[in-house]
């Protein structure tokens, strides 16, 4: 069956929306010194002009009421960006497709680099085919990035089954490493596992997810898969405290006082990377995804397919998300052992009374951008 642009966009965008809903309960040298200096100056000037142009674009779109976002917890980085440029924290409600961008009713449309941006740029089935006729405003470059996909469990589970947690992290990060080094193969593995999108879009997703795993918010190369960068996590927590609004007064007060120690523990990942763990206390475990099988979660599918989980004594069941399934709730109530969520989701969940613990940070930068027509 051939999917329309809208149908495919709805399908892949729901990965992000479902997660957000659970949270509510991203030289050559020259001998001519003067020439080199001139070139450097021109480059700096070009960069400054680009930054100024983006700022003007953001202000203009905000004043016109044409900045789009899905809401439901995905808007925090947009609020931080608008605040940076002195604008009201308002956005136009963006549908779960890119039709609003296509017809011009949204000037700056929210898009994940590995999902909606691919649909806008590419001409494969379901794509809009804009190619290089679009530009993006990157949350990382703007200094308002919030971290996304991480691996988590309950604090109680980690304390009772430390070797299981470490073994799961070790095998999962081995899967992520292989997937990022072999994105085409990883995309095929996910596709054969029951992909929720086309093979072409799956391949695009894998190539973009690789970038999120291997580059930090400052643009630096990351070689330690799953590392929890203190500065990036603190920025995420600070922005969450500023922009997440909770109706329950007790939860709102708890949110204000949360620290990184309340949401993460780096020791499990550190021991896992050193292979410092014994036989797992629990061998049959499950992980809850935020959505249906797609390259957003390729590391876990690769780890399963390559036998990395079995190598550490684990039998892993990968549970698809979708519909009204909330990954934080599923982990908190013990339906599954591990889950994939955004850091802001976990922050909201813990403020609301859950006792969750991040054990690995898979995505090292934000995947959220605003896309515009050049």
Sign, CA dihedral 101-106-108-110, equals: negative
Residues 258-305 pLDDT 10s = 999 999 999 999 999 999 999 999 999 999 998 889 999 999 999 999
Q: Cα separation of 227 and 273, whole Å?
A: 10
CB atoms near residue 227 (< 10 Å): 19
- Residue 233 predicted with pLDDT over 90: yes
Per-residue model confidence (pLDDT) at position 131: 98
Give me the percent of the chain exceeding a pLDDT of 90: 81
From the list 341, 334, 347, 345, the residue with the least C-alpha distance to 361 is 341
Cβ partners under 8 Å of residue 205, min gap 6: 114, 115, 118, 187, 197, 294, 295, 296
From the list 225, 231, 228, 227, the residue with the least C-alpha distance to 209 is 225
Q: Where are the domains of the chain?
A: 5-143, 150-366
Per-residue confidence band for 324, with pLDDT thresholds at 50, 70 and 90: confident
Give the Å distances, CA to CA, from 28 to 31, 32, 36, 180, 270.
Answer: 10, 12, 10, 29, 39
Residues 106-132 pLDDT 10s = 999 999 999 999 999 999 988 999 999
Least confident of 5-9, 67-71, 95-99, 152-156: 5-9
- Residue 9 predicted with pLDDT over 50: no
Per-residue confidence band for 325, with pLDDT thresholds at 50, 70 and 90: confident
Give me the percent of the chain exceeding a pLDDT of 70: 86
Q: How is residue 33 written in tokens?
A: 């010194």
**DSSP, residue by residue, 168-193:** HHHHHHHHHHHHHHSHHHHHHHHHHT
Q: What is the mean pLDDT of the chain?
A: 89
Per-residue model confidence (pLDDT) at position 49: 61
Per-residue confidence band for 16, with pLDDT thresholds at 50, 70 and 90: very low
- Residue 227 predicted with pLDDT over 90: yes
Per-residue confidence band for 48, with pLDDT thresholds at 50, 70 and 90: low
Per-residue model confidence (pLDDT) at position 286: 98
Q: Record the pTM.
A: 0.88
């Amino acid at each position: 069956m051939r999917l329309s642009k809208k149908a495919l966009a709805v399908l892949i965008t729901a990965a992000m929306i479902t997660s957000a809903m659970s949270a509510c309960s991203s030289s050559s040298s020259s001998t001519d010194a003067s020439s080199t200096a001139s070139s450097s100056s021109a480059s700096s000037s070009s960069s400054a002009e680009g930054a100024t142009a983006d700022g003007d674009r953001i202000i203009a779109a905000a004043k016109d009421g044409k900045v789009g976002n899905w809401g439901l917890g995905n808007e925090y980085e947009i609020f931080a960006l608008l605040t940076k440029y002195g604008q009201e924290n308002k956005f136009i409600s963006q549908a779960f497709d890119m039709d609003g961008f296509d017809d011009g009713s949204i000037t700056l449309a929210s898009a994940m680099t590995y999902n909606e941006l691919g649909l806008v740029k590419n001409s494969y089935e379901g794509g809009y085919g804009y190619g290089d006729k679009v530009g993006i405003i990157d949350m990382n470059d703007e200094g308002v990035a919030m971290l996304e996909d991480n691996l988590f469990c309950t604090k109680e589970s980690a304390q009772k089954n430390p070797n299981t947690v470490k073994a799961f992290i070790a095998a999962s990060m081995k899967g992520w490493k292989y997937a990022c080094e072999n994105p085409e193969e990883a995309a095929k593995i996910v596709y054969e596992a029951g992909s929720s999108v086309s093979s072409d879009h799956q391949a695009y997703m894998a190539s973009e997810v690789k970038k999120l795993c291997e580059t930090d918010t400052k643009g630096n190369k990351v070689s330690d898969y799953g590392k929890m960068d203190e500065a990036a996590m603190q920025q995420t927590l600070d922005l969450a405290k500023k922009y997440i609004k909770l109706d329950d007064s007790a939860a709102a007060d708890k949110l204000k006082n949360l620290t990184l120690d309340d949401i993460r523990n780096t020791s499990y990942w550190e021991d896992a990377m050193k292979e410092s763990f014994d036989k797992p206390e629990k061998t049959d475990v499950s992980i809850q995804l935020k959505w249906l099988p797609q390259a957003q979660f390729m590391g876990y599918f690769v780890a399963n397919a390559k036998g990395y989980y079995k190598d550490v004594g684990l039998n892993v069941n990968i549970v698809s998300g979708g519909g009204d399934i909330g990954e934080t709730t599923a982990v908190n109530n013990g339906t599954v052992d591990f889950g994939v969520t955004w850091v802001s989701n976990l922050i909201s969940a813990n403020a609301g009374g859950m006792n969750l613990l991040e054990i690995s940070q898979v995505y090292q930068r934000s995947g959220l951008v605003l896309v515009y027509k050049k």
